[in-house]
Chain A
Amino acid sequence: MNIALNEMMETIRMVQMENLDIRTVTMGISLRDCADSDFEKMNKRVYEKITTYAKDLKETAEKASKEFGIPIINKRIAITPVAEILGNATREEAVQLAKTLDEAAKTLGVDFIGGYSALVHKGITKGDQTLLDALPEALSVTERVCASISVGTTRAGINMDAVRQMGIIMKDAAERTKDQNGLACAKLVVFCNPVEDNPFMAGAFHGAGEGEAVVSVGVSGPGVVLNALKNYPDADLGEVADIIKKTAFKITRAGELVGREVAKRLDVPFGIMDLSLAPTNALNDSVAEILEEIGLERVGTHGTIAALALMNDAVKKGGAMASSYVGGLSGAFIPVSEDNGMIRGIEDNALTLSKLEAMTCVCSVGLDMIALTGNVSASTLSAIIADEAAIGMINKKTTAVRVIPVPGKNEGEMVEFGGLLGRAPVMGVNPFSSEKMIRRGGRIPAPLQSLIN
């Protein structure tokens, strides 16, 4: 069937005016065969493998992007969780490996490389501990390396010893990069129920169930959804869900086509499509503004969670039908610093940290890119992580914490992270201590899978 003029116009308008783009094409690479008892050998193999497998990634993605007329914003690499290949390496060697990864990313021209990770949701191995010890330094001396730590799952419970360590690590990492507003913490995610095929940073890694190499795609398009809704100011909520569904379908189909083409040209299997709506600081490219368009005066007011639940579910329904392989996080991201609507919500005192926490119960990830006061204690950070992990564990979903305790900044000040990471108003935390609970350590047992009220 021929494509009508108005349909062509719609596609072109989505790209040129409404910021439709493919947010990331991420190549997952297994590093298991690089492990070696001799660190120097391993270090060399890691660099060579990454720079060989992904050598055409940037160029191929850019060519496909031009031919289809859809921008691909980021080209990225996800690797096997580094803790799994560290073995007997020392802390210094682990830092050296992070520098090697950074170097590989620079050589390839990719903006982030994810997978400086450890899965410690039940226990901590020798390699895991080495990675945790190296984290603050590794993140502060590298530019493009992203780390993620899994501290809990629905089937294993929450490892509170790891949670306690993460609070300390985040404080340390922020302090080491205090002249950049604690930027190291923007590259560190703490997960509950992480997914193995997530193409989005900072939480991407190449999981144990994945193949040798794979290409996964994350699309985006809050601006497109927002504009579609603006055409129907009086639709009821069932119709609103339907409009979002249809729009998500179109966005996903575009992403899947381009993703598959890139994978084909690189001769690497196509992995998954991640359906997440990821906002940017571009005008109108905001998840918060979609919620406001649905009918909230400001994001964060009563009704926010209902609107977010509706939107998140509709995006999944539309996207799931459009793609053969849906995976990753697939939902809506609510990163504060990357979403102008969220920033305004906080500035107008409509949106609070507690409301953001509640929103994570119904949306895709968690507390994302939130700046906290510099004087927050390590145990309070751990407690924030524990709360999010508990939400994920009980609700059988992925949750994450990526907060930045900005050294020397107080509630209400604005901090800039630069580039895609945006800017965020510093938020205060509850002044009462959670110290004793965090000090107890141990493991929170896995929850019942029945009696689910």
Chain B
Amino acid sequence: MRRRRIHNLRQKDRRVTSRFVILMPDEIGERTNLFFILKKLFFGVNVMSQRRAVVSVVGKDQVGIIAKVTTVLANENVNIFDISQTILQDFFTMMMIVDVTNLENLEALQQKLTALGEPLGLTINVQLEEIFHAMHRV
């Protein structure tokens, strides 16, 4: 999945300005593998300037949840990095990591997703990813 994310970045990120990237300590800790560090340097992907958010969808399982949610995201021109999904005791749970670097107004997206979720009995939240890192990683 890691590989796919980097691949995605290479494909989508046209705002790349610098080939020299300062790796944050947690980035280094995450992949001490020299290959990956070199790969980042080579592609010049500036990971630091990204703003990512987590879209969480929780509710009763039904047909077409992913299609509906991703349609809203696509209409807002929001790229998806990662999707994971599971069914827990009849409850549909999905988490998506999305790129909100160019999305100034997170609230507007939240409102659209809330409007989508409510009639379907789904709770949909958009939260900046940092909060999860703060709580679950030292």
A→B interface (CB under 8 Å): 1-3, 5, 7-12, 16, 63, 66-70, 250, 253-254, 256-258
Contacts and interface: CB of A to CB of B under 8 A. Distances in A.
Nearest to B100: A67
20 contacts: A1-B30, A2-B97, A3-B54, A3-B129, A3-B132, A3-B133, A5-B93, A7-B135, A8-B54, A10-B135, A16-B123, A68-B127, A68-B130, A68-B131, A69-B126, A69-B131, A254-B134, A254-B135, A257-B131, A258-B131
A181 to B, nearest CB: 39
Give 6 closest A-B pairs by Cβ, nearest first. A69-B127, A257-B134, A253-B134, A7-B136, A3-B132, A250-B135
A2 B1 contact: yes
Contact of B84 (A1, A5, A256): A5
B110 interface: yes
Nearest to A63: B107
Contacts of B134: 253-254, 256-257
B128 interface: yes
B106 interface: yes
Contact of A5 (B95, B107, B110, B127): B95
B101 interface: no
A170 to B, nearest CB: 42
A68 B128 contact: yes
B58 interface: yes
B125 A69 contact: yes
A253 B137 CA distance: 10
B106 A1 contact: no
Contacts of B90: none
Given A1-B30, A2-B1, A66-B106, 9 more contacts: A1-B29, A3-B132, A8-B132, A67-B127, A69-B127, A69-B131, A253-B135, A254-B134, A256-B134
Contact of B82 (A2, A11, A257): A2
Interface residues of B, number: 31
A12 B26 contact: no
Contact of B56 (A2, A8, A68, A254): A8
A253 B56 CA distance: 21
A256 B82 CA distance: 27
B86 interface: yes
Given A67-B127, A69-B126, A1 B54 contact: no
Dominant SS among interface residues on chain A: helix
Interface of B: 1-2, 26, 29-30, 54, 56, 58, 82, 84, 86, 93, 95, 97, 106-107, 110, 123, 125-137
Given A5-B84, A66-B106, A11 B93 contact: no
Contacts of A258: 131
Nearest to B82: A2
A9 B125 contact: no
Contacts of B137: 1, 3
A250 B29 CA distance: 21
B32 to A, nearest CB: 12
A209 to B, nearest CB: 28
Given A12-B125, A69-B126, A5 B86 contact: yes
A4 to B, nearest CB: 8
A9 B129 CA distance: 13
A2 B6 CA distance: 13
Contacts of B136: 3, 7, 10-11, 250
A9 B95 CA distance: 9
A432 to B, nearest CB: 52
B131 A12 contact: no
Nearest to B131: A68
Contacts of A253: 134-135
A254 B133 CA distance: 9
Given A12-B125, A69-B125, A7 B132 contact: yes
Contacts of A257: 130-131, 134
A328 to B, nearest CB: 20
Q: Which of A8, A9, A16, A70 has the most CB of B within 10 A?
A: A8
Nearest to A321: B138
Nearest to B27: A1
B30 A12 contact: no
Nearest to A256: B134
Contacts of A63: 107
A11 B131 contact: yes
A205 B30 CA distance: 43
B61 to A, nearest CB: 16
Contacts of A70: 127, 131
Given A1-B30, A2-B82, A7-B136, A254 B131 contact: yes
Contacts of B131: 11, 68-70, 254, 257-258
Contacts of B54: 3, 8
